[in-house]
Amino acid sequence: MLARLAADHVDAPFALSLSPTLVHQLGDPALARRYRAYLRGLLGLLDAEAARTRGSALAPVVAWQRRRIVGIERAYFETHGADLIASFRRFAAAGRIEPMTTGATHAVLPLLGAPSGWPRVHIRLGLDVQRRHVGGARAGFWLPECAYDPTLDAELAGAGVRWVVLDTHAFARAWPEAVWGPYAPLATPAGLIAFAREPDGSRAVWSADVGYPGDAWYLDHHRDVGTELRTEYLAPFLPVPAGGAPIGLRYHRVTSRDGDDKAPYDPERAAGIAEAHARDFVDALAVRAQAAATVMDRPPILVYAFDAELFGHWWFEGPVWLEHVLRRVAAHPTLAIRTPTQDLALHPVVQRARPAASSWGAGGHLEAWVHPETVRQQHRLAVLGERLLAARSTLATPAARRVHENAVRHLLAAQASDWTFMISRGTAAAYGRRRIEEHLHTAERLAAALQTDAGVRAIGAAPDRSLAPLDRWAIDLDALLSRASSIS
């Protein structure tokens, strides 16, 4: 998409957050090899599916899926050389995207407690990964789960972050009142610039119930071949466990949200619907912008921020929709598309206020991560965090420092917001509980080993390969926790 926009000279820059864990995963040669094997497995399965569905209503969809997978393999390994981060760097250098980062492992930062120092570790590790691998000025920072608390101001500003995006709740309850609501940024007491998400247009994009993704003509995310065909049939092509599992191959459209009687997918019709939805979105935001402009002394800014996985994963046609939106806004007579940094360069004077604590979770609070089912894990995370910070002064040998560093890596992984969200919402709860328990147990075992030299020797000096992407992080807590930025 970015290449097409550049080739057509469409001026449509946007901010893109590449998380530290994703950056390291995309740079891992082992994962690239596994990805090629996965794509080849899909192609082999689709050849078998072409024979199985010959003459049926699904045959055209099977042929389309095969063409799509062939195109993906060619683009990833030939066009991008299996190095998407390098491609993102090139688009950033050309001004097509403004790269930003997020917390080290997407932990809900307000839950870590600013006095503990762990928010600073997550913030500065994220900025360090961006500097070393992606490049670009460290201006924007995506707060995991859009979770904000005023105690984070000094940590973010002190690390060199210039702006963040907050949920609308933060502006609705700001003090003093946000004069222009979500249509203009605020400067926090620490000098951090906060932008608010525009709520109405955002709901139309992410909600499968009342928004675009639930349209009857779009690809149904839940009807996956890996859960519908026999495991024995799939096994020669892909390692599907007994009982089946999603493999990313789908043939049916949403059709109706009630029942399993789904019609075959029509990619051309779906693409046309995506273009129509893009037109509807841009027309609606133009109306909102015009209405706001009539009562403001500066041009209103409408901010739309989404999980990247919405585009292509949950909403298969999302990238098509997004490209049409960018093209339409770029060509619009009264609208312009800019990154937050570009907007601040044009309108540097903003209102000073204190945004309220908030998140983009249910109700605008933290209840999705603080729940009766997750209280025990949250308590263990807090106790272990204090224990590992206190242990820094006792690390007398290189072996002890390596054990401590691996314990910190497991703690960072356990702090990820995904596990407690899965548990509290009952979506893949068993998996979320297993992941957080594995990391907590390992980190607690390593922390216990640090109490004696014999314990350190028993653990051994070998790096923990269960955290391969994180194993490349040099975690110097003393440097990360120092007041002077260690990543300037």
**Percent share of the chain, pLDDT over 90:** 82
How many other β-carbons are positioned within 10 Å of the β-carbon of residue 436? Answer: 24
Q: Which of 377, 385, 371 is nearest to 436 (CA)?
A: 377
Rounded to whole angstroms, the Cα distance separating 126 from 141 reads 9
Residue owning tokens 């890596």: 409
Helix (H, G, I), strand (E, B) or coil at 406: helix
pLDDT band for position 466 (50/70/90)?
A: low
Rounded to whole angstroms, the Cα distance separating 388 from 84 reads 35
Residue 408, pLDDT > 50, answer yes
How many other β-carbons are positioned within 10 Å of the β-carbon of residue 355? Answer: 26
Rounded to whole angstroms, the Cα distance separating 121 from 168 reads 27
Rounded to whole angstroms, the Cα distance separating 411 from 391 reads 14
**Beta-strand pair 186-187/163-166:** unpaired
176 preceded by a cis bond (ω within 30 of 0):
yes
Task: Kindly tell me the burial class for residue 468, based on how many C-beta atoms sit within 10 Å of its own C-beta (0-12, 13-18, 19 or more).
Answer: middle
Rounded to whole angstroms, the Cα distance separating 324 from 174 reads 35
pLDDT at 483: 58
Residue 463, pLDDT > 60, answer no
pLDDT at 478: 86
pLDDT band for position 34 (50/70/90)?
A: very high
87-114 average pLDDT score = 95
Residue owning tokens 């937050």: 340
Task: Kindly tell me the burial class for residue 14, based on how many C-beta atoms sit within 10 Å of its own C-beta (0-12, 13-18, 19 or more).
Answer: middle
311-336 average pLDDT score = 97
pLDDT at 485: 47
106 contacts 369 by C-beta, under 8 angstroms: no
Cα–Cα separations (whole angstroms), residue 12 to 327, 397, 463: 7, 53, 44
**Beta-strand pair 97-102/14-17:** parallel
**Phi and psi angles of residue 123, each rounded to the nearest 5 degrees, phi first:** -65, -50
84-94 average pLDDT score = 95
pLDDT at 488: 37
Buried b (16+ CB within 10 A) or exposed e, 41-55: bbeebbeebeeebee
364 contacts 110 by C-beta, under 8 angstroms: no
Rounded to whole angstroms, the Cα distance separating 353 from 359 reads 18
* Partners of 99 in beta bridges: 16
pLDDT per residue as tens digits for the range 341-391: 999 999 999 999 999 999 999 888 999 999 899 999 999 999 999 999 999
- Dump the DSSP string for 162-202: -EEEE-HHHHHT-BS--TTGGGS-EE-TTS-EEEEB-HHHH
- Answer with the residue of higher pLDDT: 471 or 291: 291
Instruction: Give the total residue count for the chain.
Output: 488
Rounded to whole angstroms, the Cα distance separating 186 from 191 reads 9
**Percent share of the chain, pLDDT over 70:** 96
| Amino acid identity at 339 | T
Q: Two tokens at 389?
A: 């910070």
Rounded to whole angstroms, the Cα distance separating 199 from 124 reads 30
pLDDT at 475: 82
Q: Two tokens at 478?
A: 């003393």
Terminal C-alpha separation, the chain? 33
8-28 average pLDDT score = 95
The alpha carbons of the chain give a radius of gyration, in whole angstroms, of 24
**Phi and psi angles of residue 320, each rounded to the nearest 5 degrees, phi first:** -65, -45
The pTM for the full model equals: 0.92
| Amino acid identity at 262 | K
pLDDT band for position 470 (50/70/90)?
A: low
pLDDT per residue as tens digits for the range 441-459: 999 999 999 998 888 888 8
pLDDT band for position 486 (50/70/90)?
A: very low
Q: Which of 183, 107, 85 is nearest to 152 (CA)?
A: 107
Q: Two tokens at 143?
A: 């707060």
153-167 average pLDDT score = 95
Cα–Cα separations (whole angstroms), residue 87 to 12, 135, 137, 376, 469: 17, 12, 17, 42, 20
Please state, rounded to an integer, the average pLDDT across all residues of the chain: 93
pLDDT per residue as tens digits for the range 176-229: 999 999 999 999 999 999 999 998 899 999 888 889 999 999 999 999 999 999
pLDDT per residue as tens digits for the range 106-154: 999 999 987 889 999 999 999 999 999 998 888 999 999 999 999 999 9
pLDDT per residue as tens digits for the range 286-323: 999 999 999 999 999 999 999 999 999 999 999 999 99
Domains of the chain, by residue range, sit at 368-481
369 contacts 111 by C-beta, under 8 angstroms: yes
CATH of span 368-481: 1.20.1430.10
pLDDT at 469: 53
29-33, 54-58, 429-433, 463-467: least confidently modelled range: 463-467
